[in-house]
Amino acid sequence: MLEAVATGLFNGLIYAAVAVGLALIWGITDVINFAHGDFLMLAMYVAYWLFTLGHVDPTLSAPVAACVLGFVGFAAYALIIRPLQRAPPMIVILATFGLGLVLRQLAFIAFSPDYRNLPDTWLSGSIRLGEISLGRPQVVTGVVALAMIVVLFKLVYGTRWGRALQAVAEDRLAASLVGIPCDRVNAQVWMLGSAAVGVTGALLTSFFYVFPSVGAVFGLLAFVAVAMGGFGALPGAFLSGVLIGIVEALTGYLVEPAYKTASIFLIFLLVLWYRPRGLFGRW
């Protein structure tokens, strides 16, 4: 039981890192990026090919993946989101959904649907804490994810730039009237949220299979975490991601692994039924 909870906690930190990046983009720019999971897939392929072709360990390729995904996020905003700012919200949602489908199909064409995994990396092995045995890759990835979330929280809630982000999220027109460059802030948010998922995706390759539709798995869980925590609420996305990881692990231990996903969506539906704005959302 204790080992299941610990495993769920570290998996939950990974889900939370993906969800916080999505919540940041959603909360500041008011755009639901349905391609967020496919951005993670791109980061995993970046780390995979750097290891396969250049023997670069995922721990070293994570900054490279962050830079690549930061550029992808900026390009997505500049080429797709910004031109559609005055379009109906549904058009923007469909645009991000279409972007995700395009990235996924390109990955199928370029890399085939084969499942790939890396051989032994620097993180291979396990860690024993008393009677508990945990995979070292999961522990390290969870710790890095937690550190990254702390840095994001500090940037958003403890800096002058973060106050500018909150001003844009609160009232874009008022923020522009006091001199805040809203378009530049939105582009920076897309870069930051995408770079965060780039780091997570690169480290995931040390223990998770790489395949073109892997983003759908993590993207859907990130969306559930953001919606359950409260749309755009970073603390809610963080806590919901951790909760999802623990519930998933306990369901697999106490009930049956086949019901892990069902238990997550059951809790999601119950939260939305009794508190439609989410755990930390505001009306």
CATH number of 196's domain: 1.10.3470
Instruction: Tell me if 122 is assigned to some domain.
Output: no
Q: Please spell the DSSP secondary structure of 8-33, one letter per residue.
A: HHHHHHHHHHHHHHHHHHHHHH----
pLDDT along the chain (283 residues), means of 10: 91 95 91 94 97 94 96 96 88 93 96 91 84 90 96 93 91 89 93 95 95 93 90 86 94 89 91 84 62
Instruction: Tell me if 224 is assigned to some domain.
Output: yes
**pLDDT for position 250:** 93
Instruction: Tell me if 118 is assigned to some domain.
Output: no
Kindly report the pTM of this predicted structure: 0.93
Average pLDDT over the chain reads 92
Instruction: Tell me if 236 is assigned to some domain.
Output: yes
Cβ atoms 200, 17 nearer than 8 A: yes
**pLDDT for position 282:** 63
**pLDDT for position 241:** 94
- Inter-axis angle of helices 234-254 and 214-229, to 10 degrees? 120
Range list of H helices, the chain: 2-29, 36-54, 58-76, 89-111, 136-158, 160-170, 172-177, 182-204, 214-229, 234-254, 260-274
Instruction: Tell me if 159 is assigned to some domain.
Output: yes
| Total of domains in the chain | 1
Residues in contact with 138: Cβ distance below 8 Å, sequence separation at least 6, in sequence order: 7, 10, 11, 14, 207
**pLDDT for position 283:** 55
- Inter-axis angle of helices 182-204 and 2-29, to 10 degrees? 160
Q: Is 127 helix (H, G, I), strand (E, B) or coil?
A: strand
